[in-house]
């Protein structure tokens, strides 16, 4: 089994910063893309930022120049540094990863995994 566990959410004032972390564990052969999505109350889940295994990053227009996604492949970890936070950034943030894992019969395959989410609340 594979698990993704997020940490680092909380309450912050507008203009402040938070850093989210997400660690993968379990039967991991390798990790392809990793990233972050968020879901605000009453809205659909949306992409925040992604980072492929080979480098490069992709950001939603709403967070460009404020958020930075990075990863530590040795630790199976992805980070999201969030600066200049705005009330509209309030949401549950979900870690995502496309992971190469193995079945109980040792057959390797790729699958998408999600963390359970961490709440970020930005007060005005």
Q: 8-11: which pairs have CB atoms within 8 A and are 24 or more residues apart?
A: 8/118, 9/93, 9/118, 9/119, 9/120, 10/119, 10/120, 10/121, 11/121, 11/123
What pLDDT score was predicted for residue 54?
84
Q: What is the pLDDT of residues 109-121, one digit of tens each?
A: 999 999 999 999 9
Q: What is the pLDDT of residues 59-85, one digit of tens each?
A: 999 999 999 999 999 999 999 999 999
Tell me what the mean pLDDT of segment 95-115 comes to: 92
């Amino acid at each position: 089994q594979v698990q993704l566990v997020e940490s680092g959410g909380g309450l912050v004032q507008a203009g402040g910063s938070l850093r989210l972390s997400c660690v993968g564990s379990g039967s991991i052969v390798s990790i392809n893309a990793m990233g972050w999505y968020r879901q605000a109350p009453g809205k659909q889940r949306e992409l925040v930022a992604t980072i492929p295994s080979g480098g490069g990053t992709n950001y939603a227009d709403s967070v460009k120049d404020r958020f930075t996604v990075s990863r530590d492949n040795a630790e199976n970890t992805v980070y999201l540094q969030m600066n200049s936070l705005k009330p509209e950034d309030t949401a549950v943030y979900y870690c995502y990863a496309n992971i190469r894992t193995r079945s109980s019969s040792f057959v390797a395959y790729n699958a998408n995994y999600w963390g359970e989410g961490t709440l970020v609340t930005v007060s005005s």
